[in-house]
Amino acid sequence: MFTPGHQVDLLQGSQEFFPALVQAIDRSVHEVRLETYIFSVEATGALVAQALERAAQRGVKVFVVMDGAGTDGLSLEWVRRFAAAGVAWRIFSPLGRTGLLLPSRWRRLHRKLCVVDGRVAFCGGINVLDDFHDPNHGALAAPRFDFAVRVTGPLVESAHAATLQFWWRLQATRIVRQGDLTAAWRALLEARKFDPDKPDQAGVNRAAGAVAQTRADLILRDNVRHRTRIERAYRQAIGEAQHDIIIANAYFLPGRKIRKGLVHAAQRGVRVRLLLQGRYEYFMQYHAARVVYGDLLAAGVEITEYQLSFLHAKVAVIDGHWATVGSSNLDPLSLLLAREANVVVDDVAFAQNLQARLEHAMQEAGTRVDSTAYAHRPFIQRVLDWVAYIGMRALLFVTGKRY
């Protein structure tokens, strides 16, 4: 899974992520490819949009893909600005009139990837969205808790190939809708040239950072060839854990195998700590997650709920050297339906840096879930929890997915 020769920098929140991303875009010479679930030009999000505009104006090829559920569109001002600058942008699977009523619409672009000149990549859970603003809840008193990484090294080629392949598939879909089947077939053939598993086909030079020794890799999840890769990476790391597991996850409703892995780890003496969403954001995710608390608490798993602001992180540290930062939640939407991207790292310094930040968040901004209080939580809350959990299972049944 791991390849040496990387430099991986941890970035917390948009306060660290946006300046690093903007700097890389401003230094771009040939190409910028950005994929995100939410693309918001409000507040500091405009800094990213402006950097993309500047790059295109000086002749850099700029490609942007945003998801149709996370982003319903761009303002007329930014449509005109991107057109004038030459930014190519697409919305993946716009919702249209049916919204999310059709199961086919639940397969979203949730990964957050950016590749600049085929030499540096960014990956994580952070959208192009100001940390002090929530699309559904408005202004936030404290910043959203989330992470991304900046990477140089061999995995950048895989990220570049993935973004190229996805762009050409979008082009093919668009051309089919226009009725030009011959051109659509050419676009599909172009997409097939770029395989993230064979990144040398991406046609870019091996990224800088060969002197670095950090071992890392990019793990993608899609609905074609990479359906279970992220889940399997978690399960393997949990199964091999010797002394410590820390997972921070915004929407936590893992399948039976991951839950059993966590329970078995705790039972064999591994300290298992979970940092989970403590503030109400969405009914289904908030309540359904609490149904699985019981078995985990009974096994000795420590659960802390983040209270300071919205937890949006999707990260983990195991045994002080294995770590992952990415877009994938441990819930059915991420593990069964969405396109996701995680970077996994095998490096003591990186893992301990991330672990220190998670432990600080637990201590300073979290509330530990007491097993006795959980068992005696109000009847109405237990009803809501089970309604959400059964509803989630019913939605999975509609999609034909087993979890």
Round to whole Å and give the CA distance between 326 and 341: 6
Q: At 96, give phi and psi (nearest 5°).
A: 65, -160
Catalytic residue among 112, 133, 160, 287: 112
Instruction: Indicate if 117 belongs to the active site.
Output: yes
- Residue 18 sits at the vertex; the CA angle it makes with 337 and 143, to the nearest 5 degrees, is 75
Annotated catalytic residue, options 130, 314, 331, 385:
314
Q: Residue 154: which residues within 8 A CB-CB, separation 6 or more?
A: 3, 5, 6, 199, 206, 207
Active site residue 61: no
Q: Which of 67, 117, 222, 347 is catalytic?
A: 117
| Residue 112 is a catalytic residue | yes
The yes-or-no answer on residue 110 being catalytic is yes
Cα 160 to Cα 28, 33, 273: the distances in Å are 14, 8, 34
> From the candidates 110, 133, 160, 287, which is the catalytic residue?
110
Question: Is 193 known to be catalytic?
Answer: no
With contact defined as beta carbons under 8 Å apart, do 4 and 32 qualify? no
User: Per the residue annotation, which of 6, 133, 160, 312 is the catalytic one?
Assistant: 312
> Which residues are identified as catalytic?
110, 112, 117, 312, 314, 319
